[in-house]
């Protein structure tokens, strides 16, 4: 039997109904008799640390870099972890609603703010280390990105929580499912639409242009031959086609992960020169946070929302953990079974199997951290991760998006190359 730790029920949560509550930009003051669910902060901080590790070391150690296409590595769990955590947090942010219309207006406004922040950080306005220029041609700005995906998932989950939950009390697992049954309807509809579009849409041949550096401003037209349905390879999938049609190919990410595949790099699994027989799609833009894949990513957020509901409605540690572990096991087994039968784990496409495996892993990790931190009280060992979790978005903006390094780089001696970052080996 688990020994309860004082103050770990749902009354610990403050009702801060906004995206800052979900992403924990700051930690507001709480009454003395209330505490946070520390395990969620630790989980968020651990994910931030993993993100920084992957960004800084992934290029050196391919085993922790993003998978070039099918399959998953440790880096491919970062985005689902964040989406899952946002979902769990929203269960508390919208637990007590005074006005649904006001909550909806605020959710829309906060999603818009997150979208605009994503455009600024990942749209091409900032040109990266060793480049003191800034600005972006709006005709070529990248429209999607990490924060944009989180904003979409947050909005869908928030609207579900505001408008689609029942009013009756929860006294059992069955009554909880009944209370939130329309959430599961939304998740089922989203999944059905995603599968229909991914496997049902016809992908015709398409073309794109690349600039030829050796010939100045001239462009080379490359044609990708497709004419297929249901293809999940890099060149002819419906995810990329939808982004090219709706967003425009000039607004997509120009350094796709499949450039490291064996077909596209002689240094596989690292980036490298093209092989002589490289497919024509190897240099084509592709957004790993595209529209259709982001639609499927919202299901991860809805799964996290369900895990948050378990905390709200069940006070006993053992019952919470049992329900989390059972659901996590089912998700993991379903995802592995789908992968075994041909629906491969794939982050760029955000396949159903990938969603199930990463959501299941999120549930297992949350359970382990909750058991260690909130049940047995081992909080001192996790203080650093807790702090990082409380300031997750700030750390992402300043560190993961290189904003701090860009500011430091702006101060140099006589020549831009003579800066502190270059001296310690950053950005070489």
What are the pLDDT tens digits along the chain (428 aa)? 344 443 344 433 333 334 444 454 334 333 333 446 899 999 999 999 998 888 877 767 777 889 999 999 999 999 999 999 999 999 999 988 889 999 999 999 999 999 998 888 877 776 666 666 677 778 888 999 999 999 999 999 999 999 998 888 888 888 999 999 999 999 999 999 999 999 999 999 999 998 776 555 678 899 999 999 999 999 999 999 999 999 999 999 998 999 999 999 998 888 889 999 999 999 999 999 999 999 999 999 999 999 999 999 998 999 999 999 999 999 999 999 999 999 999 999 999 999 999 999 999 999 999 999 999 988 887 888 888 888 888 888 777 677 777 777 777 777 777 777 666 666 55
From the CB of residue 372, how many other CB atoms can be counted at a distance below 10 Å? 16
CA–chain centroid gap for 5, Å, is 32
Name residues whose C-beta falls within 8 Å of residue 176's C-beta, 6 or more positions apart in sequence.
Answer: 170, 309, 310, 313
Cβ pair 351, 295 in contact under 8 A: no
DSSP letter for 281, please.
G
The tokens describing 227, both together, are 């004419």
Q: What is the pLDDT of residue 78?
A: 93
pLDDT at site 5: 40
Find out whether 267 and 259 touch, Cβ atoms under 8 Å: no
Beta bridge partners of 220: 210
For residues 383 and 412, what is the distance between their CA atoms, to the nearest angstrom? Answer: 35
CA dist 342 → 53, 114, 231, 280 (Å): 31, 36, 12, 25
Q: Looking at residue 212, what is its pLDDT?
A: 72
pLDDT of residue 41: 93
- Looking at residue 126, the DSSP 8-state letter turns out to be B
* Residues forming beta bridges with residue 221, ordered by sequence position: 209
What count of other Cβ atoms lies within 10 Å of the Cβ of residue 347? 26
Q: What is the reported pLDDT for 344? A: 96
Burial of 60 (0-12, 13-18, 19+ CB in 10 A): exposed
- Those residues with Cβ within 8 angstroms of residue 395's Cβ, 6 or more apart along the chain or in another chain: 48, 52, 388
C-alpha torsion 270→275→277→280, nearest 10: 60
Q: Which helix (H) or strand (E) holds 242?
A: helix 238-246
Q: Using only C-alpha atoms, what is the Rg of the chain?
A: 22
Q: In the prediction, which pLDDT does 7 show?
A: 39
Q: Cα(253)–Cα(284) distance, rounded to whole angstroms?
A: 9
Give residues with Cβ within 8 angstroms of 140, minimum separation 6. 124, 250, 251
Extents of the domains making up the chain: 38-188+292-411
The whole-angstrom separation of Cα 219 and Cα 171 is: 65
The pair of three-digit structure tokens given for residue 292, joined into one six-digit string: 């259709």
Using left for φ > 0, alpha for ψ between -120 and 50, and beta otherwise, residue 385 falls in alpha
Residue 172's nearest CA partner among 347, 296, 297, 314 is 314
Sort 168 into a burial class: Cβ within 10 Å, 0-12 / 13-18 / 19+.
exposed
pTM of the model: 0.87
In 3-state terms, what secondary structure has residue 275? coil
């Amino acid at each position: 039997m688990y020994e309860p730790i004082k103050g770990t029920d749902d009354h610990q949560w403050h009702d801060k109904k906004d995206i800052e509550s979900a992403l924990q930009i700051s930690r507001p003051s709480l009454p003395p008799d209330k505490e946070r669910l520390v395990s969620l902060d630790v989980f968020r901080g651990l994910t931030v640390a993993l993100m920084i590790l992957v960004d800084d070391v992934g290029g050196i150690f391919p085993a922790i870099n993003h998978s070039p296409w099918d399959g998953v590595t440790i880096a491919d769990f970062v985005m689902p972890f964040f989406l899952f955590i946002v979902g769990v947090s929203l269960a508390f942010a919208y637990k007590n609603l005074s006005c649904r219309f006001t909550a909806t207006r605020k959710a829309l406004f906060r999603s818009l703010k997150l979208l605009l922040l994503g455009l600024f950080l990942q749209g091409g306005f900032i040109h990266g280390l060793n480049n003191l220029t800034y600005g972006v041609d709006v005709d070529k700005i990248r429209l999607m990105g990490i924060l944009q995906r989180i904003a979409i998932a947050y909005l869908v989950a928030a609207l579900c929580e505001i408008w689609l939950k029942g009013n009756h009390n929860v006294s059992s697992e069955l009554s909880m499912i009944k209370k939130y049954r329309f959430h599961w309807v939304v998740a089922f509809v989203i999944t059905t639409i995603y599968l229909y579009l991914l496997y049902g849409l016809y992908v015709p041949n398409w073309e794109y242009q690349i600039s030829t550096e050796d010939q100045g401003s001239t462009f080379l037209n490359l044609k990708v031959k497709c004419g297929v349905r249901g293809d999940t390879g890099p060149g002819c999938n419906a995810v990329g086609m939808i982004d090219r049609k709706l967003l425009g190919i000039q607004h997509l990410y120009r350094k796709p992960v499949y450039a490291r595949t064996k077909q596209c790099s002689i240094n596989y699994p690292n980036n490298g020169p093209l092989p002589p027989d490289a497919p024509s799609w190897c240099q084509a833009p592709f957004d790993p946070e595209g529209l259709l894949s982001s639609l499927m990513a919202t299901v991860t957020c809805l799964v996290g929302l369900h895990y948050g509901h378990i905390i709200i409605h069940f006070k006993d540690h053992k019952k919470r953990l049992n329900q989390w572990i059972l659901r996590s096991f089912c998700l993991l087994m379903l995802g592995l079974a789908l992968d075994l039968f041909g629906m491969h784990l794939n982050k760029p496409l955000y396949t159903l199997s990938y969603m199930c495996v990463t959501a299941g892993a999120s549930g297992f990790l949350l359970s382990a951290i909750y058991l260690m931190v909130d049940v047995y009280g081992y909080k001192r060992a996790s203080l650093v991760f807790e702090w990082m979790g409380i300031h997750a978005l700030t750390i992402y903006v300043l560190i993961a998006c290189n904003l701090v390094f860009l500011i430091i780089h702006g101060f140099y001696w006589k020549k831009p190359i003579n800066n502190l970052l270059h001296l310690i080996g950053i950005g070489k």
